[in-house]
Each structure stands twice: as C-alpha cells, then as structure tokens.
Structure 1
Amino acid sequence: MLGIYQLMEVIMKRRNVIWVALLLVTMTVAVQSSDTFDRFFVSKTMRVDYFHTGTKTSEIFSLDQVYEEPIWAGSKVNLIDTLNLGKYLVKVFDVQTNQLIYSRGFCSIFGEWQTTTEAAQGVYRTFHESVLFPFPKRSVQVVIAVRDNQMHFQNKFSTVIDPNSRFVNREKHDHGYKVYQVFNHGPCEKKVDLLILGDGYTAAEMEKFRRDVQHYVGVMFDTS
C-alpha cells in the first residue's frame, strides 16, 4: 500500500498532468480561433444598419445600409457566442461553406419599446439599429434571430452581403470631435474600450473635463 506522502505525490503529479492537458486544450482552441479569424475576416468592421418595425407582438426587419469601418475592436478569438444572453442573436455564415463564423447575442431599443403601453395598443414604430461584426473576406449570410415564448431563437431576418459590392459604403467620416487617450492597457481586440463623453461641459471647460475624467478613472479602477 502507498504511504500518505507517496499518495499525495501521485495526486499532485496527476493534478499537474490535468493542468497541462487543460493548458494545451486552451492553447489549441485559441490557435484554431485565430486561424478562423484570419481565414474568414480582415481586421476591419462591417456595420449593417437596418430598420426595426412593429408592435408588441410583431416585428419586421428591413436592410438600410452596409458600411465598412476601419478597425475591428472586438475579440479575434471568441467569435461564436456561447453565453446565450439577449433577446436577439446575430449570426454570420460563410456562404461558400455554410459555416457559422460569428455570432453575438444582444438587446435593442425596439425590444425595450415592445414593453410599453403604446406597443401593447398595436401602435407601429420604427427604430434604426445596427449590428457589427468583423469584415468578411467573401460573401456572408447575415441572420438575425429573435427569442420566442419558449426562449428559443427563431430566425426573423436574413440577407446575403458581398463585401466587394459597390453598395457597401466605404466613405471615411470625420466626426470632427476631439478624442484623447486617457490610458492604454493593450490592443483593443484584447481589452474593453471605454468612451467617456463630455456632455454638459462647454468648450471653455475642457480642462475641468479632463481633470474630472482623471478623477473618475482613478476612482473606477482603484475601487474593487
């Protein structure tokens, strides 16, 4: 029979083997996800604008415009959403292989409006909304699904988008706002971007705004 110390040594060795195996699996998944991104996407953003119309019990999606934006600030590894959150789910399929290459759950202003008395009375309203995903290298099918009463996602909207189409708006927009970096903890695809807006500050109060931002950021990150 094994002594207590020999038994502990065996347990520790097995535990180390398990940790190494888990590490190798994690590294393999990360490499595969990175390969998936490079295979299907470039590091830009495709923004799909659409109109969302309906009442409490009905909704219709209609395509407005597709845009190419210069930077993809999301993860290049976690491309498929596994959290099962949100009332809506956007799914992106590679047309050539029919492979799901991106998905993300989300909520929308229209979904909030559906809870109002006006919506329950059958009044139709239209909201302008957008979904974002990495810019594809070739044609994709974009699907938006909605949860039913059993909380299952049902496809409600689908369209095929050719990233090389002349109908994709590639115009560069200069918003005219001054932006400055408070701090940088790493590349945007591996971090969460926070934007602080100076609503309520006048042009003459920009120095005060910057001081307030530094104070706010300090409080936010120094508080655990």
Structure 2
Amino acid sequence: MKKYLVLALCLLMVIIGHAQNYTEYFADKTLRIDYIFTGNAARQNVCLDELSVLPSWAGRRHHLAELPLQGNGQIIMKDLESGKTIYTTSFSSLFQEWLETDEAKAVTKGFENTFLLPYPLHPVEIEITLLSPRKEVRTHLTHTVRPDDILIHQKGTAHITPHKYLLKNGGTDKCIDVAILAEGYTPAEMNVFYQNAEIACESLFSHEPFKSMKDRFNIVAVASPSDDTGVSVPRLGEWKHTAFSSHFSTFYSDRYLTTRRVKSIHDALAGIPYEHIIILANTEEYGGGGIYNAYTLTTAHHPMFRPVVVHEFGHSFGGLADEYFYDDDVMT
C-alpha cells in the first residue's frame, strides 16, 4: 500500500499543476547536463563534463520548485538575477551505492551521470549536492549556465535512433514519456526487441497505479543496436560489445545488472521525447537494477521478466527502496 501511494504521488505531481508558470522561466527545450562523480569513501567531488540542448522538454511543467522525492542527491536551479529557485529535482546514483562498498575504501573511481532540466530563458545558477545515506552533505558543485553559450552542444536534430510508439496518449505537456531501449540486440534482432518492449509495456500497465493512469503515459521503443547479442556476464568470462556496455556482477553481486556508460544512453535518446528510461537486456540471465531518476535495466528473456521489469521501474520512477549494496543480495 505504501509503495502504491508513493507512485501515485509521483504521478499526481506530473499530472496536476498549479502556481509557477513554466513559460515565465523556460523554453520548450531540455538542458542536458553531464557530470562526473569522482572519489572514494573518504572524499568525493562533482565535475561538470558537458552541457547540451535537446529540441523539446518532456519533464514536469508544474510544481517546478518543489522537490518531487527525497533521493540521495538533489539539483537546484536558481534565476541568476533574482536568486529565486525556479526548478528542483532529486536523484540517486550508482556512484553513491558504490561508496558503501569495501572497494571504495581503497580505490578512487569516476562515474558518469546525466540529468535533464528545463532549458532556461535567462542565466541560471545550478547547485548539485550529493548526500550520504543519513542525508548529510557529502559534496556539492555550483556553476552558472548561460542559455546563449555557443558551446552548449546541440543534440537531437539529426541521426535520431529508429523508434516507434507502443502507446501514445498526448503531447509531452500532458503525459509522462517513458523510453524503452534495446541493449544487446543486433540490427537483425530488432523485431524481437519490439516484441519484448510490448511485453514490458503490458506488464507495467497490469499493476496499479499505472493501470488506472495508463492514459497519462506515452511509451516509445527505441531500437538502439549492438554489435553483439546478449550482455556481459563477468562470472562466466563473457564480455560483449553492446550499445550501453551493461554487465552483471556490479559490485561483485552476480544478479546486479547495471551500466556506467550513462552518456551513451542519453545519446541514443537524443531527439526523442523522454523523461524515464527502461533498458531491456537481450539475455536469459536473471537480474536487473533500478536507480531513482536514472534508469531501469532488466533482462528480457528470463521467466521472471514481467514482474522484475515492474519491480525495477518502481526504483527508477518512484524511488521505492533505492537499491544499495548488500553482501548477500542487492535485488531488494
């Protein structure tokens, strides 16, 4: 019941709007920000990697200055001139999960992270903060974005990945846009991918609150091609060349399937309206992973595919019991 209420609240924040006028501060475009989270258990840093602009905005247009959920990180955008908060969002990250592992006590690593914000009409100040599991500030970065900066990379106007809509109920301003991507499907296997994406779509809308709010969603299947069939399974010595370089055994947990190549995910989606991401892995191995406001990754050919894809989407969409590393099992 609690999970149902949390998911319903997320949906209502998108669907029901009031207060701040979107067009007062933002254009109908997306500001994509790529960061690198670096460090170890003792010290962390956030580095700005790249700024991009996408042709349209598929995120929420209401409750803009309200934090949707409490993740393990947050982003605050302020109008540079007035200092007014005009947009906030929260997230969790694979980097923050990794910080809780023994490896993080001995090694320094860097993780890609990408976030989508509405494109500002005027210069803004953006602060990104990483929090500990106890909600203490680990580190933060503040930087300025000027919308007329000529070095903001324009993406999504050409070379758009082939895709088709499985469910289309309205424009991006009225619906929640979910993209389902192919991982480990060769070009010759895309018909299989589209079939698997249909199953994922059917599974999602067989559960509440998605079932009752099906008419508030758009679902698009994106045929991101891989050179090899399947995904990497390190414990079996199998390494594949795939669209997003996903692999099992994340943090040495056999069933934990993730990718650190987050920029490649968003590059594959450039030019396609999206807010939430589901990645289907072309394998019979059991496993998956879901990270709040990042992505869901699950295997498409295991008998448990249907319930697992819904379970993992609950993590990425609604932040339900964000996954952290445990010695015995991360599939919470």
TM-score normalised to structure 2 length: 0.53
User: How many residues are aligned here?
Assistant: 193
CA contact (8 A) 2:40 2:105 kept: yes
Q: Which runs of 4+ in 1 moved over 6 A?
A: none
Instruction: Give the whole-Å Cα distance in 2 for the aligned partners of 1:119 and 1:104.
Output: 26
Match in the other structure for 2:166 = 182
Aligned to 1:142, what secondary structure does the other structure show? strand
Structure 1 pair 158–184 and aligned structure 2 pair: CA distance change class (3 A): same
**Which region of structure 1 is more displaced relative to structure 2, 100-109 or 204-213?**
204-213
Instruction: Give the whole-Å Cα distance in 2 for the aligned partners of 1:173 and 1:188.
Output: 17
1:46 aligns with 2:7: no
Instruction: Give the whole-Å Cα distance in 2 for the aligned partners of 1:124 and 1:86.
Output: 23
Instruction: State the shift of 1:192 in Å.
Output: 2.4
CA contact (8 A) 1:146 1:154 kept: yes
Fraction of identical pairs, as percent:
25
Aligned to 2:148, what secondary structure does the other structure show? coil
**Which region of structure 1 is more displaced relative to structure 2, 92-101 or 75-84?**
75-84
Match of residue 141, structure 1, among 100, 125, 149: 125
Instruction: Give the whole-Å Cα distance in 2 for the aligned partners of 1:219 and 1:69.
Output: 30
Instruction: Give the whole-Å Cα distance in 2 for the aligned partners of 1:179 and 1:71.
Output: 17
Identify the structure with the greater helix proportion.
Answer: 1
CA contact (8 A) 2:44 2:138 kept: no
1:80 aligns with 2:65: yes
CA contact (8 A) 1:47 1:67 kept: yes
Instruction: Give the whole-Å Cα distance in 2 for the aligned partners of 1:73 and 1:56.
Output: 35
Structure 1 pair 214–92 and aligned structure 2 pair: CA distance change class (3 A): same
Q: How does 1:33-182 map to 2 (within 5 A)?
A: 33=20, 35=21, 37-121=22-106, 123-147=107-131, 151-153=135-137, 156-172=140-156, 174-175=158-159, 177-182=161-166
Match in the other structure for 1:32 = 19
Deviations 1:134-185 (A, max 9, x none): 0000100000123257525576110011110122112546455310111112
Instruction: Give the whole-Å Cα distance in 1 for the aligned partners of 2:111 and 2:133.
Output: 22
Question: Which amino acid in the other structure matches residue 118 of structure 2?
Answer: P
**Which region of structure 1 is more displaced relative to structure 2, 136-145 or 212-221?**
212-221
Aligned to 2:180, what secondary structure does the other structure show? coil
Question: Which amino acid in the other structure matches residue 114 of structure 1?
Answer: L
CA contact (8 A) 1:74 1:190 kept: no
Instruction: State the shift of 1:31 in Å.
Output: 4.4
Structure 1 pair 154–91 and aligned structure 2 pair: CA distance change class (3 A): farther
Instruction: Give the whole-Å Cα distance in 2 for the aligned partners of 1:128 and 1:68.
Output: 18
Instruction: Give the whole-Å Cα distance in 1 for the aligned partners of 2:38 and 2:207.
Output: 42
CA contact (8 A) 1:89 1:153 kept: no
> Greater relative contact order (Cα 8 A, min sep 6): structure 1 or 2?
1
Instruction: Give the whole-Å Cα distance in 1 for the aligned partners of 2:41 and 2:24.
Output: 41
CA contact (8 A) 2:44 2:139 kept: no
Instruction: State the shift of 1:117 in Å.
Output: 1.2
TM-score normalised to structure 1 length: 0.75
Aligned to 2:90, what secondary structure does the other structure show? strand
Aligned to 2:23, what secondary structure does the other structure show? helix
Segments of 5+ residues of structure 1 without an aligned counterpart are 1-28
1:204 aligns with 2:208: no
